[in-house]
Amino acid sequence: MAVREVLLLGHPKLYEVCEPVRQDEVESLEPAIQNLHDTLFDFRRKYGVGRAIAAPQIGVMKRLVYMYISSPTVFFNPVLDQQSEEMFTMWDDCMCFPDLVVKVRRHKRCRITFLDRAWQEQTMLLEDDLSELLQHECDHLDGVLAVSRAIDAESFALRSQMAFLE
């Protein structure tokens, strides 16, 4: 498979709502999953960050997220079905705008329900950075970018200025 070009902020596909994955499509999506893996690891090599990538970031308009922390996890049709009232604020980044960070408010805890590669329903309870990560990736599936979640007009900075941010 191959490293794919990550669509950058402003590309119209990033603002589209993705189609659900059907069970009969799972096998045909294996090349896209490998491309997500390769693209994520290429981004890590270049920028030193990156834990997950959503399919629309490489132009695949399906409800599919690929995460690799200590091992790969594929999320088909993920749904955030419980979110805590407690929120936290953080500087978020994105492969679609690699030189920019944006201050956002996210739910501290959430539950995600999804279908795995064997088309079995799975549930994960997430906290803190993993909660934020999957909220960010699920937003991509709905055509929402982190820049749309900015707290205010002063919640943007260049990555190179991170040392000066609180």
Whole-number Å distance between alpha carbons of 83 and 125: 10
Whole-number Å distance between alpha carbons of 65 and 113: 12
The catalytic residue among 5, 25, 127, 137 is 137
Whether residue 137 lies in the annotated active site: yes
136 is in an annotated binding site: yes
CA distances from residue 26 to 33, 74, 85, 99 in whole angstroms, order as listed: 10, 11, 34, 33
For residue 160, which of 92, 75, 89, 98 has the smallest C-alpha distance?
98
Helix (H, G, I), strand (E, B), or coil: what is residue 71? Answer: coil
Q: How big is the chain, counted in residues?
A: 166
- Cross-strand bridge partners of residue 53: 66
94 is in an annotated binding site: yes
Catalytic residue numbers read: 137
Q: Which segments are annotated as binding site for Fe cation? A: 94, 136, 140
